[in-house]
Chain A
Amino acid sequence: MRIAVIGAGPHGLSALKALLQNGIDAQAFEREADLGGNWNYGAQTSRVYRSTHLISSKPFTQFPDFPMPDGYPDYPSHFQVKEYFTSYARHFGLVEHIRFDSEVVSVAPVGDGAIWTVTVRDRHSGDLHVEEFDGVVIANGHNWNPKVPRYPGQESFGGEIIHSADYKDADVLRGRRVLVVGAGNTGCDVAVESAQNAARTWHSTRRGYYYNPKYLMGRPSDQTADLLLALRIPLAVRRQMFKASLRFAVGDFSKFGLKKPDHRFFETHPIVNQQLVYYVGQGDITPTDDVASLDEHGVTFTDGSRADVDLVVFCTGYLVTFPFLADADLHLDWHEDHPRLALQVFTSKHRNLFVSGLIQPDSGQWTLAHWQGMLIARFLEARQLRPVVADRFYADATARSGRRFSAGTTYKDSSRHYYEVAHQDYLQSLQDAINALEVPA
């Protein structure tokens, strides 16, 4: 059995490692000259900017079987993250299983789908190679294809418009009047860098959010949060505790001119940014309403106010795309703007087509990447050694396709949060799935 892995970012690497570790031959394809995916700063599809640091702390973010070095800080930079992935790949002998500068242009099933052909373009020579595999793990990432909004008058805008996908460092902001659109973690980072560098900064958000600190009670705040989880404090109480701690440390966000959150804690993807409120308080960031329209000189907001700006940075997120999969709607059971998956990994359409990385946890990512990879590998192993168990598992799992892992929360704005998972809930589900595959036939 030989499996193709598309992408050598963190999810591709962990899937590749899990397969090899479980005695399954695998070949990864990476379009860039180096591994790291999104964390391969400077590469064409990397979306990290010079100042990017992790927003979840290292023990919750690392691969559980390959801890980050003691010398790393609580929140490593993207340079350190890349170095970490490189040592992971070297340590487990993954590099010899990765073909670099190789862009997967097509993935298609042969006949009933027992075999898949993978067509790869060599980015140096342009030559196409076709190879057959017994299965495919899609790990091409979901944070690279920019989602760009359209506003009335956008064409007539005389300044510059960029998406955060193309934001690399603060040089582009220096001395300019900047509008930052979007309050995801990137939007907040860019707004803060703009406050430090631009002439003026407006920050337009759809709604109010909870801007969480990186540290709480002397610890990285995700560690404090997980301590409460470990103590089995119920959701409603945790909500109150988090709200109270923010109120105590910062106060009511609306007093800073920020919008009041229209949702409860844990109902949107957490934003970790301690500096945003600080710069709002200093007057370096002007929080504003939604954008209503653009004109030659600037922007009009939905509350009727206006601002003259030179640069608009859309931090409006990314679209999930599998450009190499011609019939993604067919093969991955596409619904609206996303595939309907079981356990965010399996599709009911094919037993040998897997997706890794299509998750957005409220904690670190790569612990989950590790267990997604292990689940795929154990499933393939069970298909060979205990086919009855594997079949039963697959039927059970796909019967519950589309199941969410929200740990009791209802996420706001479902399209933005389709990939959102509550890490404790999702981790438990992956563990249960792996255990179900271990049962003797």
Chain B
Amino acid sequence: MPSRPVSHREVITALPAEPTGRPPLLMVHGIAHAAWCFAENWLPAAAAAGFPSYAVSLRGHGGSAGGRRLRRTLTRDYVHDVMQTITELPEPPVLIGHSMGAIVAQLVAERYPLRGLVLLTPAPLHSAMGDLVAIARDRPADLGRAVLGQTLSMEPEVLFEGLDPATARSYSDRTSTESPLVQWELLLPQRVGPIRCPVLVIGTPQDRLVRVADVERTARSHGVDPVWFPGMGHDVMLDTGWDGVLDTVLDFAGDLPPWGRARPQG
């Protein structure tokens, strides 16, 4: 059955001063985050580099409607929100998904011919059970929260490595609640059909939410090697070193062949 629409969707936009012919970037946040996490650094920097840049808040997050139904929201509702956002863009975008947003992005890529797909510290499609076990070892209290349907800890030490404590705290305080159903869905193995667009996978060895092995497995499933950014935390778009990660993403996006001109890989 089709997803129920929400009355308002927040899309934060940063456009280059003049058209550059570079592909649009659409960024999808992860658990308990919203478009703000990209608006902070990445959107203005990517626009300054000539990329029309957009970040969407999934329903029940940030400035988007749907908060009251958040407890009944499923991953497929998020896929619906991203698909709707894409159809409002002037041309096929490079889709950038962070963490849980990377799962949404892969489900979109299965269905829609993206220019390119970027997965930032991606939650694993093949089930986050292993990550949950690792989280339980590190932070036993968090296991209980997750099982009870409460949002995973978004404390500064979980998300960041290099940021000064005050900034890290302020970002952490901006996180919100997540749909318990979506969190539980992360534990289920999901399958996506073949994805024919170019894929970039980015991870950090210090990630406290997604294990190195899972990032590797995700990258392997797309036939690529992950690009690692040691010394950074899970939120690579906010932590110290975000500019280096963005450079890698923009290099990837800038080198993509125009849509509809190139033979797809694979």
User: Is A251 located at the chain interface by the 8 A CB criterion?
Assistant: no
Q: A175 within 8 Å of B by Cβ?
A: no
Contact A65 B90, CB 8 Å, known A23-B262, A70-B84, A93-B260: no
**B266 to chain A: closest residue by CB:** A438
Is the CB–CB distance between A92 and B92 below 8 Å?
Answer: yes
Indicate whether B1 reaches chain A with its CB closer than 8 angstroms. yes
Provide the residues of chain A in CB contact with B5, threshold 8 Å: 70
Interface residues on A, range: 20 to 34
Q: B21 contacts the other chain (Cβ, under 8 Å)?
A: no
Q: How far is the CB of A385 from chain B (nearest CB, A)?
A: 9
B257 CB to closest chain A CB, in angstroms?
9
Verify B264–A67 contact, CB threshold 8 A. no
Q: Most chain-A CB neighbours within 10 Å: which of B5, B260, B262, B264?
A: B260
Q: List 12 A-B contacts (CB under 8 A).
A: A21-B259, A23-B263, A65-B113, A67-B80, A67-B87, A90-B90, A92-B91, A92-B259, A92-B260, A93-B259, A93-B260, A227-B1
* SS class, residues of chain B in contact with chain A: loop
Q: With the chains together, A306 CA to B80 CA distance in Å?
A: 55
The residues of A that contact B1 with a CB separation of less than 8 Å are 219, 223, 227
> Which residues on the A side are within 8 Å of B89 (C-beta)?
91
In the complex, the 6 A-B pairs of residues with the closest C-beta atoms, listed nearest first: A70-B5, A20-B260, A23-B263, A59-B2, A65-B112, A21-B113
**Neighbouring A residues of B259 by C-beta, 8 Å:** 20-21, 92-93
Give bound CA distance, A381 to B91, whole Å: 24
Chain A residues engaging chain B, CB cutoff 8 angstroms: 20-23, 58-59, 64-67, 69-70, 87, 90-93, 219, 223, 227, 381, 438
Name the residue on B nearest A64 (C-beta).
Answer: B111
B83 interfacial contact with A, CB 8 Å: yes
* B68 in the interface (beta carbon within 8 A): no
Task: Tally inter-chain residue pairs, CB-CB below 8 A.
Answer: 51
B interface size (C-beta, 8 A): 23
Nearest CB of A to B94, in Å:
15
**B77 CB, nearest partner CB in chain A, Å:** 12
A122 to chain B, nearest CB (A): 26
| Closest residue on chain A to residue B4 by CB atoms | A70
B92 partner, pick from A58, A91, A223, beta carbons under 8 A:
A91
How far, in Å, is A383 (CB) from chain B's closest CB?
A: 13
A252 to B5, CA, bound (A): 37
A438 and B194 CA atoms in complex are apart in Å by 10
1/0 contact string of B62-101 vs chain A (CB within 8 Å): 0000000000000000001001100111111000000000
Contacts of B88 in A (CB 8 A): 69
Most buried by B among A21, A65, A90, A381: A65
Cβ–Cβ contact A22 & B264, under 8 A: yes
A87 touches B87 (CB 8 A): yes
Give the docked Cα–Cα distance between A21 and B6 (Å). Answer: 30
CB distance from A221 to the nearest CB of B (A): 13
Instruction: Name the distance in Å between B6's Cβ and chain A's nearest Cβ.
Output: 8
Shortest CB distance A440–B (Å): 11
Complex contacts, B111 vs chain A, CB 8 Å: 64-65
Question: Residue on B with the closest CB to A60?
Answer: B2
